[in-house]
Amino acid sequence: MTVPAHAVPIDVKEQGVIWLLPPYSWSIRHIARKLDLSPSVIARWRLELVQKGLLPENEKISSVNGDEWTPERRFSVVLETATLSEMELADYCRRMGLFVEQVKEWRVISIKAHEMKMTENRRADRELREAKSRLRDLEKELQRKDKALAEAAALLMLREKFNALWDNSGGRLTPLPVRQKIISLVSEAIRNGARKTRVCQCIGVSIRTLQRWVDGEVINADQRPNAANRIPRNKLSEAERQQILELCNSPEFASLPPNVIVPTLADKGIYIASESTFYRILKSTNQLTRRTREGQYRRPDALKATAPNRVWSWDISYIPSWIKGQHFYLYMIVDIYSRKIIAAEIFTSESGENAAELLQRAVWNEKCSSRNIVLHSDNGGPMRSYTLLAKMYALGVLSSYSRPRVSNDNPYSESLFRTLKYCPWWPENGFRTIDD
């Protein structure tokens, strides 16, 4: 018996046989790489096991290394094992030289790839639908703009032709030839793309008027001139009209208007016509011209001071401060008869409360409460305030105000303010405080 030059050790062969048998069932190439032997040696070992009935005769498709499987073969394995149970899947993997985990991983990858493809398809479908929708919107917008442009051009041309044809003033009868021309222009504008409502707005004619003009294919003429003029049954006769004119021009009613004449006649039991009829008949004969009596001049009542503490005058004057835009306010009450300054005080605000306080102090100092003193002032806010009016009523002081738009009705207070502000010692830059 001849021994090969490179005999394989018994323990190495035993290890290789173990890897060929279940539960390992490794491929020939994988065992050859592990044992550093030729694949033909491992194939001979496997043939011996097949002859002994320890392995099936069919060849394995591939090795345990999943990298050697093409995507097509992996997908076919996934399809073949999709309906297998766990035990059938384990038996299949042993026969095919695969691990169960590999097949499950390939199945997950296939599902994800299918889901990704479906997601991409759905995204592509959605983008396609959106693109089609945008295209439809653009087409609609383009059609709308085309129609609007055509309508604008048609209306512009219609307006020019209509203005040259007819002056559409209200209340005028439209002759039949003009109606025919207008209907022709309207039909032309509608054919050119203008809407009927816009056409009617352009020429100032309602749709109902156009419908009334056209009866089928016939254009009707205006029938108003042919209408019978119905005479009202309550129309006054010429004798009654003449009676009203004679009555209005009679010496008794010559200077009275109809709204006085008719009630006067009614008190006497006479009724000829209503007030509006009187006015209408007078207007028709040009006898309703406005008549006014010459107004008499009435001299305004003037206040006259015959003794001290009869008529007072008061006012408020602005006094500038050191700060620009800020002022002090000088309240002053003057007796017109004696030119005496009854009371004067400077405040930092302009209000009716300050005026009421100053007036009460002045009345108490002069001991003239309830003597019906007349207090004259202009029409400013503090002068008209309810606080001051209530205080005047309590002290028995009567109010008097300047006439509207008359600037010299309160000259005494204004004169004293002028004298004060033109004093040589008046500061040019204003006062810093009230004490100054």
| Residue 30 counted as domain residue | yes
CATH number at residue 333: 3.30.420.10
Q: Based on the domain organization, do 106 and 160 belong to the same domain?
A: yes
Instruction: Annotate 150-194 with three-state secondary structure.
Output: HHHHHHHHHHHHHHHHCCCCCCCCCCHHHHHHHHHHHHHHHHCCC
pLDDT tens digits, the chain, 436 residues: what are they? 344 446 788 888 888 888 887 766 777 777 888 888 888 888 888 888 888 877 776 544 344 455 556 777 777 778 878 788 888 888 878 877 778 888 888 888 888 877 777 777 788 888 888 888 899 999 999 988 888 888 888 888 888 888 887 776 666 677 788 888 888 888 888 888 888 888 888 888 888 888 888 877 788 887 777 777 788 888 888 999 999 999 999 999 988 999 999 999 999 999 988 999 999 999 999 998 888 777 777 777 777 888 888 888 888 888 888 888 888 888 989 998 888 888 888 888 888 899 899 889 988 988 887 778 888 888 888 888 999 889 888 888 888 888 888 777 788 888 888 888 888 888 878 888 877 7
Residue 311 parent element (H or E): strand 311-320
* CATH number, residue 18: 1.10.10
The owner of tokens 């020019």 is 160
118, 155: one domain:
yes
Q: Are residues 320 and 354 in the same domain?
A: yes
What pLDDT score was predicted for residue 77? 78
Q: Is residue 304 situated within a structural domain?
A: no
394 and 331 assigned to the same domain = yes
Q: How far apart are CA 64 and CA 26, in angstroms?
A: 7
Q: Starting at the edge strand that comes first in sequence, how are the strands of the sheet with 327-335 ordered?
A: 341-347, 327-335, 311-320, 373-377, 397-401
Query: Per the domain annotation, does 72 fall within a domain?
Result: no
Are 213 and 265 part of one and the same domain?
no
The answer to whether residues 278 and 315 belong to one domain is no
Residues 53 and 122 grouped into a single domain:
no
Q: What's the rounded Cα separation, in Å, for the pair 348 and 351? A: 10
Return d(Cα 231, Cα 242) in angstroms, integer. 19
> Residue 63: its pLDDT value, please?
44
In-domain check, residue 33: yes
Structural domain contains residue 379? yes
What DSSP element (H or E) covers 5? none
SS3 1: coil
**One domain, residues 331 and 251:** no
The reply to whether 276 and 316 lie within a common domain is no
The DSSP-derived string for 254-275 is: TT--HHHHHHHHHHTT---S-H
Pairwise CA distance, residues 126 & 297, whole Å:
92
Task: Indicate whether 138 belongs to any domain.
Answer: yes
Provide the number of structural domains found in the chain: 4
**In what helix (H) or strand (E) does residue 293 lie, and over which residues does it extend?**
none
Which range of residues forms the domain containing residue 14? 1-60
Question: CB–CB of 343/361 below 8 Å?
Answer: yes
What confidence tens digit (pLDDT) does each residue in 173-203 have? 777 888 888 888 888 888 888 888 888 888 8
366: in domain: yes
- 246 and 213 share a domain? no
Which residue do the tokens 């442009």 mark?
A: 149
One domain for residues 321 and 397: yes
How many residues in the chain? Answer: 436
CB atoms within 10 A of CB 22: 10
- Cβ atoms 402, 305 nearer than 8 A: no
Distance (Å) of CA 115 to CA 55, 107, 120: 40, 12, 8
Q: Is residue 88 part of a domain?
A: no
Structure tokens at 147: 């129609």
3-state secondary structure of 145: helix
Q: Indicate if 214 and 254 belong to the same structural domain.
A: no
